[in-house]
Structure 1
C-alpha cells in the first residue's frame, strides 16, 4: 500500500471504478459486442474507413486516388462522375504503399512542422491511364513557397512541409523558352528518362507568355494595402514593405496612379489616388507609416477594393497589393473565404490581387496563398530587398498586367503509349476533367513575360507513337469565352538520354525532385538529394537564381550529414 500513499481519496476511488469496469467488460464483453454487432477491431476499421473517406472527399474535384502499379482489379474511376469514395487499402496494399515510402536515410531531411492551419495537400498519386487518361489543372505563377524555403534554410532551419508547393518552387525560376510568334503564349514540350526512377520518363510542359514593354503597358491603378499592426514592427516586415513599395513606384509610368490604405486596429485612408509622377509625395506617405495595434485585414481589404474598382476596366489595370505578415486576428472577416466574399463583385469587375508576405514567426502562408488564388492574382514572399527588386522591378509587368486569364491545361495521355503518370505539384490547382471546357470555372492567370512549367513522371509502354496531347484553354483579360489550342507530344520527341535534354528540363527536375523529397511525398521515397544536386550542377546555365538554389541544396545536404554524424536529430 505504500506505493498508493501519495494518492488522494478521489484518485483511489477513480482507480477502483476503472478496475470494476474492466472486470465487467472481461465477463460481459463478448455479449456486449454481440449485442451491438461489432468487435473492437471492426469498429476501429470502420473509423479508419470514415477518416479516409472524409479526407478523400474533402476535395470535390479531386480524381480517384488510384495508386500506380497496384493490382489491375482496382475499380476504374469514372471521368465525368463526381469523385468516387475510395475504399481503404487492404493490408497487402497498405504494405506495398509503405514499402514505397521508405527512403535512403542519409538523404532524408525532415522539415519542421508549425501551427499553420492549412493542411498540406496530399501529393498527386500515380494514375493508370486505363482508369483516367486525363490530367487537368489551372496554371500557377506564385513563387512564395520557394522564397519561404530560402528564408528558412538561410537561417539554419527547414520549412514546414505544408508550405512546400512543388509548382511554386519550379515556377520561381526563369526558363529560356521560345517567345510566342503570335498569340499570348507558346507551349514547349519535352521528355527524357527520369533521373530519379529507373524505367520512367519526365515530361515537361512549358508555357511562355508574351512580353510587354514598359511603354506598352496599360494605365495602372495600384492600391497598396499595408498591415501596420504591432506584429509588423521588425526590420524584415514594415521597413522592408516600405522599401518594396518605393521600388515599385520607381518602376511605374507617369500616367499610373497609386493609393495607400493601412489597417491595424482600424483602417486608415493614408493617400488618395496620386499620379506616380508625384514621387516625393508618395514616398513621404510611405515613410510616414508606423506599426501598432491589432489586425483587421478584412475591413482594410474591402476599402482597398473599393478604391481599385473606381478605375477597373478592360483598358486599365486595377490591382490591390497587400503587404503583410499574414497574421489576422481582428476584424469582421477572419478567413480567406469570408474576406473574399465581401469583395467578389469587385473581382468580377476585373480588380486583381497580389499578396506580399513578410517576416517569420506568425506568417500565415496558407492565408496569403488562398487570398491570391481567390483574387485572380499572385502570391509572393519577400525575404530581402533583393527579392523585392526582383518582384517589383525586374518582373513588374508580369506582377501587374494579366495577359491571359482562367488558363487551364489538360494533358491527355494515350493509353497505348503510357501506362501511368503523375503530375508533380499543382495539387491545390486541380480541376475536374469535365470542367476543362466549362468557362465559368475559375482558373489561373498568366502575367506578361511569365513562364509556367509543369512536370509529369510517366511510365511508357512499348506501343503507340503519340505520348500525349496537351490542350491549353484561356480567356482574354475581361473576356467571357475561352479559346483553345492543342499540341501533340510524339514518342520521337522524347530524348533517348537525359544528357540530351535541355537545361530547362534538367533544372526543373532538380527543383521538383528536391521539393517532393522535402515534403515527404511517398512517390519520392527512394529519390535522392544527391541526384538532384548533380542535376542542378549541370543545368545552372549561367543564371544567378539557379546557382543560388544549388547553394541552398548543398546547405540542406551538409546540415543533414552533420546532424547524422553528430547524433543531432533533424
Structure 2
C-alpha cells in the first residue's frame, strides 16, 4: 500500500487494517452474516427448537387451524415445528387443500403432521375436526414391529391407532349415531384429565344394505409380485366378494405399464367368473396408477345414485409413477368430480419397500373413503368380512365434531391426533366444507388432554353435524359433559377409556410429540393389561407394545 504524503504513521496503519477487514468481509461475508445473524437471534431471546421445533416442550401455544375449508388468512398462529431433517420443510401455514395439492415424496419420507399444541381456552375454546375411521397407520405399525423395527414417526397417526379397535359404546336409539362422553385423571400428566368423545354409528344387517357396485382397481406392476402383495390382494378380493349380496355387482380393472379392463360389471352371485378373473392376475411392468384410477372412476360413476353404493377399491403397494396424471396434484384433483357424483373410495395398502402411505391416506381423504393396510390374511378378513358393511356403506356424510370447552372449568386442552382432519372453527356450520364419513356400525373415538381450573360445573359442549348420504344440508346434535361425569380416578373409568388412553399414549410417544416427552410406555402397558377384556385385537396390541418397548430401549440408551 503506497503511503500518502502528510499522513501520520498511525493513520496509515489504520487504513491498512481497514483494507484487510473490507477484503475479509467481501470474501467471507455470507458466513459472517450467518454467524452474527445467529447470535442476534439468540440475543433476541429465541429459544433453541426441540426435536419438533417451536418453543420448549410444555409451553402453551396457540392452536393452528389447518383446515379443509379455511382460508390462509383465517388461520391461527401455526405450531412452528419443522419435520425430521430427512424431509423437506413445508410452509409455515397450509390449508388442507394446499397439502393435498403438493407433490408427494416417495417411500415413508413424507412430512409428519405437527402434533396439536396445548391451547388456552381463554384464547380459543373451540376444537373442530372431521371424523376419521382410517386404520392404515396402526396396521403399518404392526408390520414394522413384527419385522423388528419401530415405525417411522411420520407414519404414526394417533386417531388411526385409536379407531382401529372396537369400543362398547351405546347404540343409537334413533338417528344415525350416538355420542358417549367420559373423563378421568390422566395417567401420564399429573394434574390433567383425559376426556373421551365416542361416536357410535348405527349398524346395518346384510339384508338392509343398499345394492353395491364395486370396481376393484388392482396394481399388477412388477413390484406387486411378492407374496404379501398381489397374492394377498387376490385373497382379500375373494373375501370381499364372499360377503356381498346377490344383487351386488363387481368390475375389475388393472394397471401396470398400461390400463386393462379385465371384467365388466358382473353379479356377485357369479362367484366362479369373478374368482377366475381374480386368480388369473399376474404382476409385471410399470405403474400407471393415475390412468387406472381415472378408468375405475368412470366405471363406478355409471352406477352411482342415492339408491346404490358405488365404490372404487384400490389395492396397491403404492409404488407408483402415477402414469398419465404425472403429479399427485392432478390425480387428486381428478377425483373431485366423481366424489360429487357419489362415488366413494377405499385404498388398500400392501407390502413394504416403497410403500406410499402418505399418498394412500390423501387419496382416501380426498375420495370420501377409508384407508386400510393389509399385512396378513387375518387383517383382510377383518376389513372385508367382519366389517364389510362399514367398509362399504356410508351412513353419515361430512361429519364434523366441535368441542366447546368452558373457560370457567377448563384452563387448556389438547386433541390427540386428527391434525390432518382439522377444520376452521368458523366452518363448522358451513355445509359446503368437506369433512369425514361414518360407515355402518363404525365407532369414532377422540381423546383430549385437558387441564381443569377446579371451578365451574359444565366442562364441555360437544356438537356433531352431519348430512345424510347425498344430502346438501346437515343436521346438528348437542351433548354436554358435566363435572359430575368425570371419574375420580382412572380405575373407576371404563376399560374402553383406559385402553384407548394406552393406545393414544403409545402412538404419541412413538411419533415424538413434544407434550408426550415425559410419558412412559410402561404406563401405557400397565393400562392396556387391565383393559384387554378378552378381546383378541387388544391382546395383540399388548404384545406389540411390549415389542415396541424392547426396540425402543436400546435407541433411548444411545441418545
Quick check: TM above 0.5?
Answer: yes
Distance 2:62 2:374 in 1: 46
- What's 1:259 paired with? 251
3-state secondary structure, aligned to 2:480: strand
Matched, 1:137 2:129: yes
Residue 450 (structure 2) aligned to one of 437, 451, 458: 458
Distance 2:305 2:363 in 1: 21
- What's 1:19 paired with? none
Describe how 1:57-456 pairs up with structure 2 within 5 A: 70=59, 82-85=74-77, 115-456=107-448
Matched, 1:547 2:539: yes
Unaligned stretches of 5+ residues in structure 1: 1-22, 56-64, 90-112
Distance 1:268 1:451 in 2: 37
- What's 1:28 paired with? 22
Unaligned stretches of 5+ residues in structure 2: 1-16, 82-104
Q: CA RMSD in A?
A: 2.9
Q: Is the 8 A contact 2:63 2:117 kept in 1?
A: no
Distance 1:39 1:562 in 2: 40
Q: Is the 8 A contact 1:143 1:380 kept in 2?
A: yes
3-state secondary structure, aligned to 1:343: helix
- What's 1:479 paired with? 471
Distance 2:324 2:275 in 1: 31
Kindly tell me: are residues 45 and 355 of structure 1, through their superposed partners in 2, closer, same or farther at Cα, counting changes over 3 Å? farther
Q: Is the 8 A contact 2:185 2:193 kept in 1?
A: yes
Q: Is the 8 A contact 2:219 2:315 kept in 1?
A: yes
3-state secondary structure, aligned to 1:431: coil
Alpha-carbon displacement from aligned partner over 1:147-186 (angstroms, at most 9, x marks no partner): 0000111111111111000000000000000000000000
Shift of the alpha carbon at 1:541? 1.2
Alpha-carbon displacement from aligned partner over 1:276-316 (angstroms, at most 9, x marks no partner): 00000000000010000000000000100011111101110
Residue 491 (structure 2) aligned to one of 490, 499, 512: 499
Q: Is the 8 A contact 1:503 1:538 kept in 2?
A: yes
Shift of the alpha carbon at 1:346? 1.2
Shift of the alpha carbon at 1:538? 0.4
3-state secondary structure, aligned to 2:531: coil
- What's 2:98 paired with? none
Kindly tell me: are residues 196 and 300 of structure 1, through their superposed partners in 2, closer, same or farther at Cα, counting changes over 3 Å? same
- What's 1:517 paired with? 509
- What's 2:12 paired with? none
**What TM-score, normalized to structure 2?**
0.85
**What TM-score, normalized to structure 1?**
0.83
Shift of the alpha carbon at 1:77? 9.2
3-state secondary structure, aligned to 2:74: coil
3-state secondary structure, aligned to 2:160: helix
- What's 2:11 paired with? none
Q: Is the 8 A contact 1:77 1:132 kept in 2?
A: no
Distance 1:171 1:505 in 2: 12
Shift of the alpha carbon at 1:344? 1.9
Distance 1:459 1:25 in 2: 62
Shift of the alpha carbon at 1:419? 0.3
3-state secondary structure, aligned to 2:246: coil
User: What number of residue pairs does the alignment pair up?
Assistant: 504
Kindly tell me: are residues 88 and 332 of structure 1, through their superposed partners in 2, closer, same or farther at Cα, counting changes over 3 Å? closer
